[in-house]
Amino acid sequence: MDNEFRNHIFESSKAVNEGRVYLSCPACSSDRSSAANRKKEVLAVSYEFDQAVYFCNHCGISGHAWKDELNHSLDHSVKPMEWERFDQLGQADLDYLSGRGIDAAKLDLLSDIRYFNSDVESASAIGFPYVLDQNIKWIARDVDGKKLCQWEAKGGVKNLYRHELIDYSDSALIICEGEIDCESARHLGFNAVSCANGAPTSFQAQKALKNINARLNSFDRVVIAMDADDKGQAASEALVELVGRKRAHTVKYPAGCGDLNEILTRFGPDTLRSVLTNTEPSMSGIVRAREFFPAIDTIRRDGFVQGTKIGIEQLDNLVTWHPGSLVVVTGEPGIGKSTLVDEVCCRLADKGWKFGMFSPENSPELHVSKLAACHAGAPIIGEDVLADEHEYQRAREWVDENFLFISSEQCSIKSILDRADACIAQLRPEGPFGLVIDPWNYISDTGEGSETQSINAVLAQAQCWGLENNAMVVVVCHPTKAAGQYGTQSGYSISGSAHFYNRASLLLSLQADKKSFETDVHVLKTRHRWFGTNGTANLTFDLSTGRYRSRMGNTKALEEIDWSSVEKGDRKFDGHDEFELSDERPGRGETDNPEPPEAQLEMDVEIEVNDEPVPF
C-alpha cells in the first residue's frame, strides 16, 4: 500500500513541487458504489519538494511518502565525507561516555585530535556524525572543563542530529538540546534526535524542523526535552509552537537535574525511562483557574488596585495610571500632546515609575532638557533660564536615573519592544515601567492586509508586551481632521484605524487655546471603572514652570473650611447681642463733624491707572 500511495501521489498530473492538491484515494475509492464516487478527490496531499504527507477525508487514512524512497536520506548536493580517514573511539573516549551512562562501543562516533583556537593547541575530540549533511561535529573539553566545538566542513548543517535514524512508525519522537542527551535517550531505545547548535531561537527552530515538519503528524507525541535553563525553556516554547500543542509534550526534571544526561548519570536508566515515558502535554500559554485564586482573594478583600495619581487635581478626578494599560493620546498637531505626556511621565517618575521614550520628533538633548525643566519647575535652557545651577544639575541627574531614550534608527514595533526590554533590564524599576511611542506614525510596520488590519496587529503586539512586562504603553496619535467641540469629535477619528479606540485602556483627546494656554483634556474612554471615568479636565499651561495646573486651582483648600461656622455666621456681624447699632456709631446721630466741608462733598479725584488719569 505504501508503494501504491507513493506512485499515486508523485505520478499524478496534479503533483506540484510545493503546495496542496486533492486526489482520489487508492485505499477507499474502489469500494464506492458508482464511478462518479470512485473519482471523487478526497485525498488531501501536501507536497514539499521530494516528499509529501496525505490524509483522506473519507476513510481517514494518513501517512508520509518520499518521491525516491531509496535515496531520500542523502543530500547529493554536498561533497561525500571520507569517514574512514577518522579514528574510531579509543578507550579514553569509551570510558568518558561510559561515565556519562552511555555504552558507545556500538555507536558510529569518531575520534580525532583537533585544533580549536589559539588558547588550546590541540585536544582529543569526539566526532558526532551528521550523516545527511555529510559533516561532523567535534566536541572536546579544555583543562577547565569548558566545552569546545568545531565543524569538520564549513557551513554547518541543515538537519537534526540522528535525522537519518528517525523511525516514523514509532508513536513518539524525542527532540533534545544536545548530542549527548540524544545518545542518552537512544541508549534506552527511544526514538530521539537533537538540535545541531544547542538551544535554538525561534528562527533556528523553524530551520531545524523544516525537513521533518511534514512528517510530525505521524507521531502521537513529540517530546520537547530542552535543558531546564532559561535558554532551554525559551527554545522549548518555540518548538512547542511549531509542533503544536495537540502532540507537543514536555518533561519534568527531577530536582537538581537540568538535562536528560544528568538524569541518567545521577538516577540511572530507569528514572530517565520513566521521565521520557510519563510526559505531559505542554501547558505553556495555558493557565488553570486556581492560579488566579490568590489575586481574586486579594481583590475580594482589598478591592481593585488603585492606579497612580499625578497631582493635577482636575485630571486625577477623572483618571489614574495603571501598568499593563494601553494609553492613547490624540489631538491636533502643536496642541501640547507631547508636553502633557512628558509631564505625566515626570510626575509618575516622582512616584517610582521608570520610562523608555521613543520620540523621533524630539532631538535627544532637547527632550532631556524638557524633562529636566518639567521636573525642576523652571526653564533650564533658552533666553529665560529660571533654574539655578544646583536645580539644573539635580534635574538632569534625575532624568538620567528615570528615563532611557530609544533611538529612531529602527522603527519596527519588534525593534522598539526589544529595546524596551533592554531599558527594563538597565533601569531595573522597583515600581511600574512605561513605554512612550510619540508619535505613532513613525512605526514602520506595514504587515499584510489593509492599514486598519496592520495597525490592529501592531497595537496587539504592543498591548501584549505591556501586559507581559507589567508596563504601561503610551502612544501619541494624530486625528484624521481638525478638532471639533470634543477634541477629535469621537474616539474613532484617529488617523489610520478605529482600533486605536477599540484597543485603548484610556483614550485622551486634547483641545487647547494657543493664546490663553487653556487646555481641555477630554477623557473619551476608560476600559475599566477603576481606571477612571469619562469627562473633561480643564487645565492651564504655566509658561513659567513648564507644567500644567488645574484651571480652578486647588479646590482641596475649600474642603478644609468649617462650613458649619460659615452657615451660622459671625455673631459680631449678624446684628444681634454683642454689637448693636446706636446713635453713638459714626454715621448715626451727632458726630464731631456734622457737616463735611464743601471741598469733601464735591471734587474731582484723579488716580493713576495704566499711566492714564481716570476720573473717579
- Domain end, chosen from 21, 39, 66, is at 66
Confidence band, pLDDT 50/70/90 cuts, at residue 119: low
The 10 Å Cβ neighbour count of residue 147 is: 10
Across the range 402-428, mean pLDDT stands at 91
- High-pLDDT (> 70) share of the chain, %: 83
Among the residue ranges 6-15, 100-109, 490-499, the one predicted with the least confidence is: 490-499
Across the range 294-306, mean pLDDT stands at 82
| Residue 603 or residue 75, greater confidence | 75
One domain for residues 353 and 502: yes
Across the range 87-91, mean pLDDT stands at 91
Across the range 307-322, mean pLDDT stands at 93
CA 131 to chain centre: 40
One domain for residues 432 and 522: yes
| Residue 78 or residue 272, greater confidence | 272
One domain for residues 244 and 321: no
In this prediction, residue 114 carries a pLDDT of: 86
In this prediction, residue 62 carries a pLDDT of: 74
**Average pLDDT over all residues of the chain:** 82
Among the residue ranges 95-99, 118-122, 461-465, 505-509, the one predicted with the least confidence is: 118-122
In this prediction, residue 123 carries a pLDDT of: 84
One domain for residues 508 and 544: yes
Identify whether 572 is part of a domain: no
264-280 burial, b at 16+ Cβ within 10 Å, e below that, comes to beebeeeebbebbeebe
Residue bearing cell 528514572 = 271
| Residue 379 or residue 266, greater confidence | 266
Within 13 Å of residue 139, how many CA atoms lie on the same side as its CB? 16
Strand partners, 113: 124
Q: What is the CATH number of the domain that holds 335?
A: 3.40.50.300
One domain for residues 179 and 112: no
Q: What is the CATH number of the domain that holds 185?
A: 3.40.1360.10
Q: Which domain holds residue 171?
A: 163-281
Q: For the whole model, what pTM was predicted?
A: 0.54
- Domain end, chosen from 556, 587, 611, is at 556
> For residue 175, is pLDDT > 80?
yes
One domain for residues 253 and 361: no
Q: What is the pLDDT of residues 221-247, one digit of tens each?
A: 999 999 999 999 999 999 998 998 889
In this prediction, residue 604 carries a pLDDT of: 45
Identify whether 571 is part of a domain: no
Identify whether 307 is part of a domain: no
Among the residue ranges 45-49, 66-70, 167-171, 456-460, the one predicted with the least confidence is: 66-70
Q: What is the pLDDT of residues 539-591, one digit of tens each?
A: 998 877 888 998 876 555 555 666 566 555 555 444 444 444 444 444 444 44
One domain for residues 203 and 97: no
In this prediction, residue 569 carries a pLDDT of: 53
One domain for residues 362 and 482: yes
One domain for residues 55 and 94: no
- Based on DSSP, count helices (H) and strands (E) in the chain, helices before strands: 19, 25
Q: What is the pLDDT of residues 473-512, one digit of tens each?
A: 999 988 876 544 444 446 677 876 788 888 999 999 998 8
Phi/psi at 435 (5° precision) = -120, 125
One domain for residues 109 and 31: no
Identify whether 590 is part of a domain: no
One domain for residues 340 and 414: yes
CB 436 within 8 A of CB 345: yes
Query: Using CA atoms, how far apart are residues 403 and 258, in angstroms rounded to an integer?
Result: 38
Query: Using CA atoms, how far apart are residues 416 and 357, in angstroms rounded to an integer?
Result: 10
Query: Using CA atoms, how far apart are residues 271 and 48, in angstroms rounded to an integer?
Result: 39
Identify whether 428 is part of a domain: yes
| Residue 187 or residue 608, greater confidence | 187
- High-pLDDT (> 90) share of the chain, %: 40
- Domain end, chosen from 281, 305, 328, is at 281
Query: Using CA atoms, how far apart are residues 334 and 547, in angstroms rounded to an integer?
Result: 16
Query: Using CA atoms, how far apart are residues 324 and 464, in angstroms rounded to an integer?
Result: 9
> For residue 42, is pLDDT > 80?
yes
Order of strands, edge to edge, in the sheet holding 51-56?
18-23, 43-48, 51-56, 62-66
Beta strands 43-48 and 192-194 are unpaired
Confidence band, pLDDT 50/70/90 cuts, at residue 27: confident
Query: Using CA atoms, how far apart are residues 186 and 180, in angstroms rounded to an integer?
Result: 10
390-418 burial, b at 16+ Cβ within 10 Å, e below that, comes to ebbeebbebbeebbbbbeeeebebebbbe
Identify whether 191 is part of a domain: yes
Give me 15's grid cell: 503533483
CA 211 to chain centre: 30
In this prediction, residue 193 carries a pLDDT of: 96
Identify whether 380 is part of a domain: yes
> For residue 135, is pLDDT > 90?
yes
Q: What is the pLDDT of residues 199-217, one digit of tens each?
A: 998 888 988 898 888 888 8
Confidence band, pLDDT 50/70/90 cuts, at residue 34: confident
Give me 263's grid cell: 538524569
Confidence band, pLDDT 50/70/90 cuts, at residue 611: very low
CA distances from 274 to 260, 269, 303, 604 (A): 11, 9, 46, 111
One domain for residues 10 and 101: no
Q: Where are the alpha helices (DSSP H) in 260-388?
A: 260-267, 269-277, 293-302, 313-316, 337-349, 364-376
The 10 Å Cβ neighbour count of residue 16 is: 13
Across the range 431-459, mean pLDDT stands at 84
Query: Using CA atoms, how far apart are residues 569 and 183, in angstroms rounded to an integer?
Result: 94
Count of domains for the chain: 4
Confidence band, pLDDT 50/70/90 cuts, at residue 196: very high
Q: Is 425 helix (H, G, I), strand (E, B) or coil?
A: helix
Identify whether 591 is part of a domain: no
Query: Using CA atoms, how far apart are residues 581 and 583, in angstroms rounded to an integer?
Result: 7
Confidence band, pLDDT 50/70/90 cuts, at residue 299: confident
- For 269-274, the CB contacts below 8 A with 24+ separation are 269/101, 269/187, 269/188, 272/184, 272/185, 272/188, 273/188
